[in-house]
Structures are given as C-alpha cells and as structure tokens.
Structure 1
C-alpha cells in the first residue's frame, strides 16, 4: 500500500520589476523547489506597453522580465531546466536564438530542455513569448 505524497508548498511570485499580469494569472508560482514563470512578452514593466523595435528588442525585454521573476522567486537563468518559446514568425528564430543563447546557453553551461513553436498570434500582437521552469536555489 503506497502512502499519500507529502503536501507541496505552493506560493505566488510577484515583482514590480516585471510587467503586471494582464489576466487572471500570476507572474510566477513556486511549487516545492521548482519555479514556473508565466509566459512573458515584451512589456516594459513601468509603462505596461510593448517595447518598440523588432524581434531582438522584444526578446531582450522578455529576458529582462523573466530574470526579474526568477530572482524574485529565488532562482536564476543558470537554474532553468525547461523553456518554451512561442514565435509569431519562425523566420525570427535565429535572432531570438542568439539572445536566448546569451541568457540560457552561455559557454560552459548546461542549456535547458526547450520547445519552440510558431503560433498564429500572441497577446498584444508581440513577436515572441517565453516561459520557464527553474530550480529554486534560495529561500
């Protein structure tokens, strides 16, 4: 007879350094030693507006938002184990991937597992959305 699993601690992660949620969801959720971020788009946290520019500028802002949520939840890019990337146009893959590599696949690091898909539309008509799962390294 197996025992019921122990209850996992679940807590909401929120920071003013990332955009406020634009719907009924949290910026991040910590469950046990894992942190799940909501998908981040290229919103400036101060203005809640999409940053100007193309895929490079948008991807850079997405990673700034993700970094803020990871840090607020006690983690970092080096602890990411899974990434999901949604692109409006797969022709933007190389430009997005170069910025992605700077954050999640630096020389000597172990890059996370990843799924990348092209989608027909993203919130606020942005070009990219990314969510992460990371190990929590601090309390």
Structure 2
C-alpha cells in the first residue's frame, strides 16, 4: 500500500511541474478595449509565436453597437477590429495564416468576399460557413490565427 501512495504523490508532483512549465509558454491577453475588460474570454492568446484571436464582429467599440450598412459595412468593421487587436500585439493582417469566417446568411458570401480579398492579400487558409445566429445579432464573425 505504501508503494502505491508514493507513486500517486510522484505522479501528481510531475503533473503539476508539467502544467506549470506549459503555462509559462501561453499568455492570455486581456482586451485593449476597456469596455471588454470583464469579458469571460481573452481577445488574444499567445503561444509559441502564434496569436489566436477570439472572433470579432462588426461592432463599433466606441458605441458598443453594430455598424449600420449590412454585410459590407459589418465585414469592414470586423476586419478593422481584427487589425486593432493584432496591432496591440505587434502583428498585422499580413501575418494572418488562418481565418475562420461565420456568416449569418451564406447568400452574403460574395459581398463578404469582395471586402475580404482587399484586406487579406496574402490569401491565408480559410474556412467559411453559415450559422443561424451570431452574438449581438451580427451578420458576420471572423476569428484568426496569426504569426507574431
């Protein structure tokens, strides 16, 4: 019985050491937007030279409302919000390697794509799909992974 207790203590101690070491390589960044400081998620998480951004919608962060003008205006604002987060962490759109795009209506794909291709000239890998409902009634949400 003593041997099994010792094994559990050693195993548990090793597990704690491993977790501590891994957490040093991961940085959970608070939002640079004061109004989002209490959000239950990080705007960006940094790990091994990569930035993993939470999804952004077409919200004007000064008024905390969606921009008016439909999918085109929301796409522009959405990408501008992504640019702001990347800039805060010393990166930019040309360092984005993967985008995940969620549209409220897949019929907006062409209009979204017209805006998207003017910002992402490096053509990062991308997944686009439609979902029936997005946060705050948005028509689009985009999350990205960028290399720092």
TM tier, smaller: 0.7 to 0.9
Please state how far the C-alpha of 1:34 moved relative to its aligned partner: 0.1
Alignment of 1:64 onto 2:76: no
Is 6-15 or 43-52 further displaced after alignment?
6-15
CA distance in 2, matches of 1:23, 1:92: 29
Q: Which residue of 1 aligns with 2:4?
A: none
TM-score (norm 2): 0.79
TM-score (norm 1): 0.83
Higher relative contact order (CA 8 A, sep 6+): 1
Please state how far the C-alpha of 1:21 moved relative to its aligned partner: 6.5
Q: Deviations over 1:107-129 (max 9, x none)?
A: xx3x1110000101000111000
CA distance in 1, matches of 2:108, 2:38: 25
Alignment of 1:85 onto 2:101: yes
CA distance in 2, matches of 1:47, 1:22: 17
Unmatched segments (≥5 aa) in structure 2:
1-17
**RMSD of the TM alignment (CA)?**
2.0
Q: Which residue of 1 aligns with 2:126?
A: 114
Alignment of 1:51 onto 2:67: yes
User: Runs of at least 4 residues of structure 1 off by over 6 A?
Assistant: none
Q: 1:77 to 1:23 in 2, by over 3 A?
A: same
1:80–1:132 Cα contact (<8 Å) kept: yes
**Bigger Cα Rg:** 2
Q: Which residue of 1 aligns with 2:53?
A: 37
Unmatched segments (≥5 aa) in structure 1:
none
Q: Which residue of 1 aligns with 2:136?
A: 124
* SS of equivalent to 1:84: strand
